[in-house]
């Protein structure tokens, strides 16, 4: 079965085609430094073909959540080095998702004078502060044209820091309503310069960030995540013609780079839009069917066997089963996820899911 066969995505060796999706878990403490819990959590899951870390902020201004890790300070780099070393010692491959949250934040979270976005439009709804209180999303500072270039360089330095920490590569987070994604939609981007207006202009920031990162660390160590039509956090993409135009422009801009992989989150991974993006980029393709249901073994097998994807991103099943690749390969029983513990500060619901061997030992 191809799902369990090894692959090379650029310079990234995969022992199988199961990819741990980037999963927000907010357990890196006040200063965003990976700790013993993160080291254990990622090392436990080294049997997956590729680990994509949780969204990690490249600059303090881009921090979206209390407890979210960063890759800006020496302490954060050292913490991630411990994670990378542990994953490598267990035989795994790990890349860091670089996530600038853009307007999805609050100055009480980022601890900076402002949060930023393409335009001065607040994200809808509220966010949670470190003390548990809820506040409205603030109106962000609209980046000037020069500041857009500074944001690009923030991603570049973060990518260099990730490689310095020993990670195998990075994934640019261009999805889920955060900064890169905010540029793609006219609902969140009302700019009139070269980064707004036409589909080609709204695609520009994603292309520039990914190109600059690829030039800094190697395209064969660089991936990107996209989520067309996801409609999340106020980044609405509900005009099919516009969506196709924007993502065609992104895909065409990325195609010459020779990326390690492109990861697309979409409810219909076999549909025309997703497969069009895949063909146009021409890079190894990771499919992820989204949040509506738990990704199943049968779905993952079919996506790869039928040629719709080169690998499959898995979220909640990877949270609940540190040895998921082994369990799926042998078609054994699975642990059930505990969503009420996805976000927290301790080991419960994070590092305490048993492996199959541990589970059977308990039963015996």
Residues forming the active site: 178
**With contact defined as beta carbons under 8 Å apart, do 41 and 88 qualify?**
no
The helix (H) or strand (E) run that includes residue 212 is helix 199-217
**With contact defined as beta carbons under 8 Å apart, do 321 and 345 qualify?**
no
**With contact defined as beta carbons under 8 Å apart, do 134 and 187 qualify?**
no
**With contact defined as beta carbons under 8 Å apart, do 157 and 58 qualify?**
yes
The helix (H) or strand (E) run that includes residue 50 is strand 50-56
**With contact defined as beta carbons under 8 Å apart, do 185 and 247 qualify?**
no
CA–CA gap between residue 188 and residue 177 (Å, rounded): 9
Three-class DSSP category at 225: strand
Binning the chain into helix, strand and coil, the percentages to the nearest 5 are 40, 15, 45
CA–CA gap between residue 142 and residue 283 (Å, rounded): 33
CA–CA gap between residue 15 and residue 47 (Å, rounded): 8
CA–CA gap between residue 123 and residue 117 (Å, rounded): 10
């Amino acid at each position: 079965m191809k799902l369990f066969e090894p692959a090379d995505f650029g310079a990234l060796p995969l022992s199988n085609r199961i990819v741990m999706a980037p999963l927000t878990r907010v357990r890196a403490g006040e200063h965003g430094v990976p700790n013993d819990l993160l080291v254990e959590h990622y090392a436990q899951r080294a049997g997956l073909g590729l680990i994509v870390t949780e969204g990690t902020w490249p600059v303090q201004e881009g921090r979206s959540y209390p407890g979210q890790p960063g890759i800006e300070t020496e302490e954060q780099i050292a913490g991630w080095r411990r994670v990378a070393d542990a994953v490598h010692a267990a035989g795994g491959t790990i890349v860091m998702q670089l996530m600038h949250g853009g307007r999805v934040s609050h100055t009480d979270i980022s601890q900076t004078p402002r949060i930023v976005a393409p335009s001065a439009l607040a994200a809808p709804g509220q966010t949670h502060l470190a003390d548990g209180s809820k506040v409205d999303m603030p109106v962000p500072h609209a980046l000037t044209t020069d500041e857009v270039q500074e944001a690009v360089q923030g991603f570049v330095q973060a990518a260099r820091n990730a490689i310095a920490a020993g990670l195998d590569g990075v994934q640019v987070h261009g999805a889920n309503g955060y900064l890169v994604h905010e540029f793609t939609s006219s609902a969140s981007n009302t700019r009139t310069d070269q980064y707004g207006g036409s589909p080609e202009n709204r695609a520009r920031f994603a292309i520039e960030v990914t190109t600059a990162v690829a030039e800094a660390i190697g395209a064969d160590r660089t991936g990107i995540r996209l989520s067309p039509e996801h409609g999340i956090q106020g980044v609405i993409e509900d005009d099919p013609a516009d969506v196709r135009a924007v993502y065609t422009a992104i895909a065409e801009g990325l195609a010459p780079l020779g990326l390690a992989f492109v990861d697309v989150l979409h409810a219909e991974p076999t549909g025309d839009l997703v497969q069009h993006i895949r063909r146009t980029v021409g890079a190894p393709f990771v499919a992820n069917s989204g949040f509506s249901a738990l990704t199943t073994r049968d779905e993952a097998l079919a996506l790869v066997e039928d040629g719709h994807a080169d690998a499959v991103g898995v979220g909640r099943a990877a949270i609940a089963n540190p040895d998921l690749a082994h369990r799926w390969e042998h078609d054994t029983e699975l642990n059930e996820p505990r969503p009420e513990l996805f976000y927290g500060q301790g080991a419960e619901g994070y590092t305490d899911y048993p492996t199959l061997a541990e589970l059977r030992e308990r039963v015996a």
